[in-house]
Amino acid sequence: MNEFLIFYAPFLVIIAGILLSFFVVLKDDAVTRNECKDNKETDV
């Protein structure tokens, strides 16, 4: 168990964080809606 925590757990946490961030970004309204493209407006 100690070897697992030292060698494998950090990589699993990093991979889980990357996958979770992609999932959260896909659920974000500001990224997924095409409001700016439809209105021909920019936020800048």
34 pLDDT more than 90: no
42 vs 26, higher pLDDT: 26
Q: Which of 5-9, 19-23, 29-33 bottoms out in mean pLDDT, i.e. has the lowest?
A: 29-33
3 pLDDT more than 80: yes
| pTM for the predicted model, two decimal places | 0.57
Residues found in the chain: 44
> Domain segments of the chain: what residues?
1-28
* Helical (H) or strand (E) element with 7: none
For 24, the token pair is 């959260």
% of the chain residues with pLDDT over 70: 66
| DSSP code for 40 | T
Give yes or no for a contact between 16 and 22, defined as CB atoms under 8 angstroms apart: no
End-to-end alpha-carbon separation of the chain, Å?
52
